[in-house]
Structure 1
Amino acid sequence: MAMDTKLLLILLLSSLIALFSACLAQSAQGTEIDPELKTCKHQCRQQQQYSESDERKCLERCDRYHRMKEEREREIEEEVRRRKEHEMEETGSDDHHRSRTESKEEEECEEEEEEGNPFVFGDEQFERRVETEDGTVRVLQKFTEKSKLLRGIENFRFAVLEAQQHSFVSPCHFDSELVIFTVKGRATIGLVGEDKTERFNLEQGDIMRIPSGTPFYIVNRDENEKLLLAQLHITISIPGHFEAFYGPGGRDPESVLRAFSWDVLEAALKGQKENLERLFGRQKKGSIFRISRDQVRSLSKRWEGPRIWPFGGQGRGPFNIFHNKPSVSNDYGRLYEVGPEDQSDLDNLNLMISFANITNGSMSAPLYYTKAIKIGMVTEGIGEVEVVTPHMSEEQQKRKKSSPRYRRVSGRLRPGVVFVVPAGHPFVTMASRESNLQILCFEVNARGNKRLAFAGKRNIVKAMDGKAKELAFMWAEEKLNAAFSREEDTFFPGPQNHEEEEEEEEARRAEA
């Protein structure tokens, strides 16, 4: 009996030990360090040439990359969760229920309910593709992820590159057509061809097209000012997706060549594996890093004075939008434009680029584009945009059979905010009383596009024949002409300034 009791106690104790060990193993598994992070930190500590400061910076870069990776994974999980919830809500709603077997074409014709503002994008909609101590590349989310109303620009992506003074942006190529606009700073860009590299200087207002697959590097040649480039990618391989491919490189940025087998690299480069490992193991500074004044000087192209040709005209290279006369200019704003008819590269891409500088307290006319889809980024100042759309289903449910219902979508504008205006949608941009509002715009599908206004010197109501106007408004032609008689073109005083104008006019009439 005593032996049975002892045996029972031994078995019980063994079970408890096994259970405790399993719990410890499960706990350790839950807190296990990410293997990628572990490998990154191990490589930092193994670099014999690293000083203590270099090793610390390397470890910090590993932690920063790991945090960014976790954030991206959480964002993906959250997006999947939201989509599932949205699908469940649609499936459970009798009013919006439809068969899963409906064709895609019929599905796209359905009006969809949009939450929030489908046309304005803030900082939270940007993903940091590159982040080093000396620069960043931020890429805006796919337009169609914000709203299916933006399917017309599904193949386009918007990005912003920022580089510190005297920094170098490593050579790479994209699987997309790229158009860049120099928002701020001075740079040199090198385009690598089959047998030589062409270098061009960039300054504020310069536009340049970089064909798909063309390797290029950038140098911020200014030692006092950051470089800021706006980038429009026209995707090719996968609609709405693009990637950078670093040829010359090492571990960070990683060279695409490292992905090949060593047998292939040894044969292609006529080298031994040990030598090739050293060749591809030296670069660990990231894709944007600071360089010396002498290195900047050796990479920068000698200044040749202002360029007068459009790119694609007399010479390949950048073209400055501010070297053209403004298409509209008055006390309330200026508009600079370069379109398909001005040079061949933009014609090939069916693209127009414009830059508006709206005077503080002023506004643009209520207008719309007949064909082009407007992608705007605020470069300076604060203000507001209003877009009128019939595509919000909340309003469409109330529509009359003879007329759609419209919704005004408003958004605050500040530097870095991106907004989209679909073709045919009337919109207004207004500058605050405190500062001018400067807006860079890429206008997609620009060939044959017209800008039609509802107010100002050239407006479609004034151009309409008298009887049609009277029937449309059920109002006398003389009164209509008076209501649409403002003589300024495109830009005029905003709401607050207009109130002051009316008060001054009333004061003058009272004195008289």
Structure 2
Amino acid sequence: MGFKGKICVAFLLLVATFLASTSSGSTDPNQEMVICKKTCEQIIGTDQDDKPRCTKSCEKYHKEKGKWERDQPETGTTSQPEQGRSNDNNPYVFDHFAAQLETERGNAQFLQKFTEIFKGIEEYRAGVLQVEPQTFIQPNHWDAYALNYVSNGYGRVTMIEGNSRKSFNVKRGDLFLVPVGITVYLVNTDDNERLVLAKILRSVSVPGELEFFSAGRGFFNAFSPEVLEAAFEVERQSIRRMFGQQKVEQWAFRKATPEQISSLTGEDEGWLWPFGDRKDKDRHINIYKKEPSVANENGILHEVNSKDFPALGDINVAFSYYNITQGSMAGPFYNTKATLVLMVSNGVAQFEMACPHLSEQASSSGEIHPRYKKVSSKLRRGMVVVIPPGHPVVIEAFGEEGLEMVGFGLNSDENEWFPLAGRDNVMSQWEDVALELTFGFPAKEVQKVIQNQHKKLFFKAPVRRDRAFA
């Protein structure tokens, strides 16, 4: 390379160094551009062709940086949160689940414990269980109630309670509850599809702490050999062979042969025990057997509560499933008592929520005036957003396809949700005088606005230039 080429490269490296240093600060983008071009004027002096090349580098950097900043989630979510954790600046959004148990045949992942801002739901944890085809999960129990929604695949679930056993097949749309302390095992019966369960667990010992007890070659290893010899009344050699030291991960998920799967599957069984049918509430239901709560061309809402599925009363959770058409949205609406945990199972979402922030200083009359901040973020598949009671929210199908979200309403006893726009919105029930005093306009003028939309809950979303979201 000639002297002139070396000088050119050196100048461009200086510009690159400048760009790197300014990108880490909080300099105004337009100011960065001006400084960068001035730098070009100062360091370039050997060849007139180098000057436009340097300026072009500034413009390219400015363009690419602007694009990168526009692609970041809103409301302070530019940094990548730890797995399983919410973002410090947006505690309502959880970016990833953290793996608690992970093998080649399957994994169990959970969110962090809900923080102090979510009062009243400290006992709950959200999670996902993924099981590869033809895989068996060995018998286990938890110190928590576990509500499971089958978002994909097929399987067979067996629960053991005392001297009784109940088995049933599950598929997409099924909801089933495993009571606290009950031994359960399941198998993915499909040859090709992964079995995926969205879960909400409610702990019964330490709030938010989950303890997994795996039988077989699991917790028995904690006992001394002589104790197991006495308990099972067998020789130590048999104890070592049967309960030999193995990592739980190696045995939690096991490959099953077609013959073994065939033996485990069949028709649904009621509670089988020596004294006839067990009198107990049913533990599973399919959400599609009930008519949708709301349905139009913009979306469908399926809901299941303790009246439809009495077992939900044990965990105080209601279930909802949102299927929002591409280019549509749900809301604004709010829940009266339940904290809504929404998991994105398919598609891309944009959520906006009104969050109250009380002013620190009271007025001269001693009153405190609430202020409301927009909390928003883009949500990908696998992300979770938590909506506290009373907070108005909008969920928008933001990508190139429809949006599917699984919702768990925590502390759902006597909860109701109210639409704030469209048919049956709460303002349509207000008296004329209340409308006039609230908005400062004649009631008929207000009604033209709040009663113009005739659909319920699901509407056509606004047109956005940046709708694509990778």
TM-score (norm 2): 0.74
User: How far did 1:195 drift?
Assistant: 2.2
The residue matched to 2:401 in structure 1 has which SS? Answer: coil
The Cα RMSD (Å) is 2.3
1:221 aligns with 2:186: no
Q: Which amino acid aligns with 1:194?
A: G
User: How far did 1:349 drift?
Assistant: 2.6
The residue aligned with 2:341 is 375
Q: Which amino acid aligns with 2:415?
A: N
User: 153-162 or 278-287: which moved more?
Assistant: 278-287
The residue aligned with 1:272 is 235
Q: Which amino acid aligns with 1:432?
A: F
1:296 aligns with 2:261: yes
User: How far did 1:314 drift?
Assistant: 8.6
Distance 2:362 2:141 in 1: 49
Distance 2:100 2:392 in 1: 34
The residue aligned with 1:450 is 416
The residue aligned with 1:490 is 457
The residue aligned with 1:234 is 202
The residue matched to 1:120 in structure 2 has which SS? Answer: strand
The residue matched to 1:180 in structure 2 has which SS? Answer: strand
Distance 1:433 1:455 in 2: 23
Asked if 1 retains the 8 angstrom alpha-carbon contact of 2:361 and 2:368, the reply is no
Q: 1:368 to 1:191 in 2, by over 3 A?
A: same
Structure holding more strand per residue: 2
Distance 1:176 1:480 in 2: 50
The residue aligned with 1:325 is 291
Q: 1:246 to 1:265 in 2, by over 3 A?
A: same
User: Cα deviations across residues 111-165 of structure 1 (Å, max 9, x unaligned)?
Assistant: xxx9411111011xx2211111111111111111xxx211221100011000111
The residue aligned with 1:356 is 322
Distance 1:142 1:282 in 2: 31
Asked if 2 retains the 8 angstrom alpha-carbon contact of 1:313 and 1:344, the reply is no
Q: Which amino acid aligns with 1:388?
A: A
Q: Which amino acid aligns with 1:140?
A: L
Asked if 2 retains the 8 angstrom alpha-carbon contact of 1:368 and 1:423, the reply is yes
Distance 2:280 2:232 in 1: 38
The residue aligned with 2:8 is none
The residue aligned with 2:94 is 121
User: How far did 1:274 drift?
Assistant: 2.3
Q: 1:341 to 1:315 in 2, by over 3 A?
A: closer
Asked if 1 retains the 8 angstrom alpha-carbon contact of 2:285 and 2:309, the reply is no
Q: Which amino acid aligns with 1:455?
A: A
User: How far did 1:282 drift?
Assistant: 7.8
Q: Which amino acid aligns with 2:95?
A: G
Q: 1:159 to 1:433 in 2, by over 3 A?
A: closer
TM-score (norm 1): 0.68
Q: Which amino acid aligns with 2:407?
A: C
Distance 1:213 1:350 in 2: 17
The residue matched to 2:260 in structure 1 has which SS? Answer: helix
Asked if 1 retains the 8 angstrom alpha-carbon contact of 2:138 and 2:186, the reply is yes
Asked if 2 retains the 8 angstrom alpha-carbon contact of 1:156 and 1:233, the reply is yes
Distance 1:435 1:316 in 2: 36
User: Cα deviations across residues 416-447 of structure 1 (Å, max 9, x unaligned)?
Assistant: 11111000111110002511111111101212
User: How far did 1:398 drift?
Assistant: 7.3
Unpaired segments ≥5 residues, structure 2: 1-80, 270-277, 466-470
Q: Which amino acid aligns with 1:120?
A: V
The residue matched to 2:227 in structure 1 has which SS? Answer: helix
Q: 1:282 to 1:291 in 2, by over 3 A?
A: farther
Unpaired segments ≥5 residues, structure 1: 1-77, 80-113, 305-311, 499-512
The residue aligned with 2:56 is none
The residue aligned with 1:184 is 152
Q: 1:195 to 1:402 in 2, by over 3 A?
A: closer
User: How far did 1:207 drift?
Assistant: 0.5
Distance 2:287 2:458 in 1: 19
The residue aligned with 1:307 is none
User: How far did 1:399 drift?
Assistant: 7.7
Q: Which amino acid aligns with 1:275?
A: S
Asked if 1 retains the 8 angstrom alpha-carbon contact of 2:348 and 2:399, the reply is no
1:142 aligns with 2:110: no
Q: How does 1:53-202 map to 2 (within 5 A)?
A: 115-123=88-96, 126-144=97-115, 148-202=116-170
Q: Which amino acid aligns with 1:489?
A: K
Asked if 2 retains the 8 angstrom alpha-carbon contact of 1:361 and 1:497, the reply is no
User: How far did 1:260 drift?
Assistant: 1.5
Structure holding more helix per residue: 1
The residue matched to 1:496 in structure 2 has which SS? Answer: coil
The residue matched to 2:196 in structure 1 has which SS? Answer: strand
Distance 1:314 1:205 in 2: 22
User: How far did 1:347 drift?
Assistant: 2.5
User: How far did 1:319 drift?
Assistant: 0.2
The residue matched to 2:370 in structure 1 has which SS? Answer: coil
Asked if 2 retains the 8 angstrom alpha-carbon contact of 1:378 and 1:417, the reply is yes
Distance 1:135 1:244 in 2: 15
Distance 1:382 1:120 in 2: 14
